[in-house]
Structure 1
Amino acid sequence: MAALWSKISAVLPLNEEQFPLEFSDKVESSVVEILKQSRQQLYSNSTSTSRMLNAQIILDFSWEKLNMGTWRHVDKEWRRVYSYGCLFKVGALCREDPSADEVLQAVKTCDMGLLMGAAIMDNILQVIVRILQGEVSKSIKEGNERENAEVKRIKIECPHVPAIKEELAVPRIKCPSLESFSTNYLLPLKPLILEGIIDHWPALNEHPWSIEYLRSVAGCRTVPVEVGSRYTDEEWSQTLLTVNEFIDRYILNKDGVKGLGYLAQHQLFDQIPELKEDIRLPDYCCLGEGDEDNITVNAWFGPAGTVSPLHHDPQQNFLAQVVGSKYIRLYSPEDTDKLYPHQSQLLHNTSQVEVENPDTERFPKFAKAPYLECVLQPGDVLFIPVRYWHYVRSLELSFSVSFWWS
């Protein structure tokens, strides 16, 4: 660990004068003054205690600002302040021969900045966390034999796959042309399973995604996790865990935790570029009106039994299955009146009906709603048209990637 600070300092500006600290008047002068003190400490021989104290003051003050109202109303300036606080805390943790625990704490600090802050200094927190992760990877090599046995046991378990009636099956086509897909499915907004269009992904080839692989590239990284089998349940909540903690608790069930957890993340691929390099945008996204920057890429990783209740999204969706299988049912927007959406604004895009166990007395019209269904297997990509209702249940340990585009 002794050489760690030299690696980190090599990516920092050469001196205090070249270290940018510019904020609008929305940030109080007293906060800017503490930021300047922390910058000065980064380039001087201050004690680690004083560095940590100032960094924590910045983090605590900006955290309050980040949590005062709804997220969309949080000013970006305060998100930048929070990121600077994370950077200075990492400096305090890593300046003097840090322990393994301090390095892990520094990784978590970077992740909090990447999740809650805004990019600063050419996204320097992303650069630093990759340096830190390299150090962690060198030092963590334990429990492999026991874990491999548990992982193999999970993979061997055969899920109960629902029988799909031919007349209800989502159609499948292998590598349709852009023109054919646009004419026959995109423009008329019809669901389709596209086969063979992600066979070239590294996630299915050079770097096949597995528990072992996720541990190796992201095990120490802190990510948001949904706790509960579905987001409409009263006990559903969100928390922050490392990927290793999530796998141990909800995939391998080492802690004996009851219930389900789901890593459903909109920022995972930006936060962990190693995973982003393992996937590619489907070519068919070029048929959209926006550019690549407007495509939202989401990760969905969880055990068997996790459910996305019947709902619809405001954009076109390509759902790519990488690991495991999922049962999916689709309903046309034309049958919305039979699907009983929640009345609240928050859940207006979600049905009240439990699709595989409907209450026919409360929701009598639901049984008359026509639908299509499928089991999505690794390598399959499901096109879910905009506002098309869909219900998803993981049949086994599953990792999917969805692309939302317009």
Structure 2
Amino acid sequence: MTPMWTDVKSVLPASGAEFPLCFSEKVETSVLKALELSRDLMYRDPEHPSSADRAQLIIDYSWEKLNTGTWRDVDKDWRRVYSYGCLFKVLSLCNGNPSQSNIQEAIRTCDMSFLMGASIMDDILQKLIFSKTFIFFNMKQKMKTCCASEPVINAAKELTRIYCPSLEHFRKEFLDPQKPVIIEGTTTHWPAFTEHPWSIDYLRTIAGYRTVPIEVGSKYTDEDWSQKLTTVNEFIDHYVIGTAEDGVGYLAQHQLFDQARYNFKIPELKEDIRIPDYCCLGEGDEDDITINAWFGPAGTISPLHQDPQQNFLAQVVGRKYIRLYSPEETPNNPDLEKFPAFSQAPYQECVLGPGDVLFIPLKHWHYVRSLELSFSVSFWWS
């Protein structure tokens, strides 16, 4: 047994009898039988060549169910079936001595489960991909520098980068045609990078005892997602440091500036950032710009969604993987509750690093995953 498979088995139930497969009658008997066969084969003969094919059949069949009608009408059991198919596929890809391409495909499969599936088995796919004590920590070590701390970006799909464009150039090339772009070199004067570099210690000093709202859960589409009030220090101790040390547990993000439904401010932090000059191209004035700050540990996910306004997302600390889809996909997705079939849709992607500012045009769909401890600031403007 390879060390990699030993790590996988440590995440799985000890036997097939302890591996839950409970669904409503909406899931056909034939599908349940395919799931049971995949489970039994995984415990009996995980290297069997049919394992990957059966997993893909489950994924493909459930994918059709996810994309029949509107998203709000999709029964959650079919989202769970999809996630089980993804799990079986990841396990087949990780068996033996997987190649780098298999590892990359396993990571992509996990991401598709986060986008389109539902939580299963106490977020087992989250544990596989994010926990430092489980398999994908070892995978990233094996993949060394190319994949050690970030996804492999497809060069053909990578977002354009530009250094300090003029207002007119930004308007003509990106704002008017509504094209996403990463702007470099416009945040170097922020106190958050110079006079008061943002860090956990700085946040404790400035706002440690302030009570703020947080969002707790692996992603806000899951049933375990919730909101609560806590102090900044409690949030750091329980959700940030605890997550980093344990490698498991809840993922959370922390809003630190204004947010419409909370109307909360930490003025000292707000003094450390600057509104991008490009916002002056909008219709409103500075008071109409909504500023949100986001703070959370590695693994925090924002599932595919749209923002209500144009967005500049500025990265201050850490890095985030972001995937964007054009609003041209929206005819199949008329509101936030109706996520369509995006596996075949064209997209763009990037890793946003400290100092980068991503322009997300109005109604562009985007999926965000923190690759490490992250501070970000978003500016919503019209």
TM bucket (normalised to shorter chain) is 0.5 to 0.7
Q: Secondary structure at the match of 2:322?
A: strand
CA displacement 1:376-401 (0-9 Å, x = unmatched): 00000000000011100000000000
CA distance in 2, matches of 1:300, 1:351: 25
Contact 2:150 2:351 (8 Å CA) reproduced: yes
Give the aligned partner of residue 178 of structure 2.
189
Percent of matched pairs sharing the same residue? 65
Structure 1 residues 188 and 202: alpha-carbon distance in aligned structure 2, compared to 1, 3 A threshold:
same
The answer to whether residue 319 in structure 2 is matched with residue 330 in structure 1 is no
CA displacement 1:264-305 (0-9 Å, x = unmatched): 355279621110110000000000000000000001100000
Structure 1 residues 367 and 271: alpha-carbon distance in aligned structure 2, compared to 1, 3 A threshold:
closer
CA distance in 1, matches of 2:179, 2:210: 38
What is the TM-score of this pair, normalised by structure 1? 0.54
CA distance in 1, matches of 2:369, 2:240: 16
CA displacement 1:53-99 (0-9 Å, x = unmatched): xxxxxxxxxxxxxxxxxxxxxxxxxxxxxxxxxxxxxxxxxxxxxxx
The one-letter code sitting in structure 2 at the alignment partner of 1:387 is: K
The one-letter code sitting in structure 1 at the alignment partner of 2:237 is: D
The answer to whether residue 259 in structure 2 is matched with residue 259 in structure 1 is no
The one-letter code sitting in structure 2 at the alignment partner of 1:173 is: I
User: Which residue of 341, 354, 367 corresponds with 1:391?
Assistant: 367
User: Which residue of 314, 323, 336 corresponds with 1:349?
Assistant: 336
User: Which residue of 274, 282, 297 corresponds with 1:288?
Assistant: 282
CA displacement 1:164-215 (0-9 Å, x = unmatched): 1221011000000000000000000000000001111000111000000000
Contact 2:256 2:266 (8 Å CA) reproduced: no
Q: Aligned ranges for residues 203-282 of structure 1 at < 5 Å?
A: 203-253=192-242, 258-267=249-258, 271-282=265-276
Shift of 1:351: 5.3
CA distance in 2, matches of 1:261, 1:310: 17
Greater Cα radius of gyration, structure 1 or 2: 1
| Structure 1 residues not aligned, in runs of 5+ | 1-156, 342-347, 354-362
Structure 1 residues 265 and 160: alpha-carbon distance in aligned structure 2, compared to 1, 3 A threshold:
same
Give the aligned partner of residue 294 of structure 2.
300
Shift of 1:369: 0.6
Q: Aligned ranges for residues 80-119 of structure 1 at < 5 Å?
A: none
Runs of 4+ deviating beyond 3 Å? 254-257, 350-353
Give the aligned partner of residue 62 of structure 1.
none
Structure 1 residues 318 and 165: alpha-carbon distance in aligned structure 2, compared to 1, 3 A threshold:
same
Give the aligned partner of residue 319 of structure 1.
313
The one-letter code sitting in structure 1 at the alignment partner of 2:273 is: I
CA distance in 2, matches of 1:275, 1:281: 13
Contact 1:325 1:398 (8 Å CA) reproduced: yes
CA distance in 1, matches of 2:377, 2:345: 28
CA displacement 1:337-361 (0-9 Å, x = unmatched): 45x56xxxxxx325546xxxxxxxx
The one-letter code sitting in structure 2 at the alignment partner of 1:280 is: R
Contact 1:270 1:276 (8 Å CA) reproduced: no
The answer to whether residue 348 in structure 2 is matched with residue 372 in structure 1 is yes
CA distance in 2, matches of 1:206, 1:351: 44
Structure 1 residues 211 and 265: alpha-carbon distance in aligned structure 2, compared to 1, 3 A threshold:
closer
Shift of 1:259: 1.3
CA distance in 1, matches of 2:257, 2:221: 19
Contact 1:222 1:242 (8 Å CA) reproduced: yes
CA displacement 1:84-142 (0-9 Å, x = unmatched): xxxxxxxxxxxxxxxxxxxxxxxxxxxxxxxxxxxxxxxxxxxxxxxxxxxxxxxxxxx
Q: Secondary structure at the match of 1:253?
A: helix
The one-letter code sitting in structure 1 at the alignment partner of 2:241 is: L
The answer to whether residue 162 in structure 2 is matched with residue 173 in structure 1 is yes
Structure 1 residues 270 and 324: alpha-carbon distance in aligned structure 2, compared to 1, 3 A threshold:
same
The one-letter code sitting in structure 2 at the alignment partner of 1:297 is: I
Shift of 1:402: 0.1
The one-letter code sitting in structure 2 at the alignment partner of 1:272 is: I
CA distance in 1, matches of 2:337, 2:320: 19
The one-letter code sitting in structure 2 at the alignment partner of 1:172 is: R
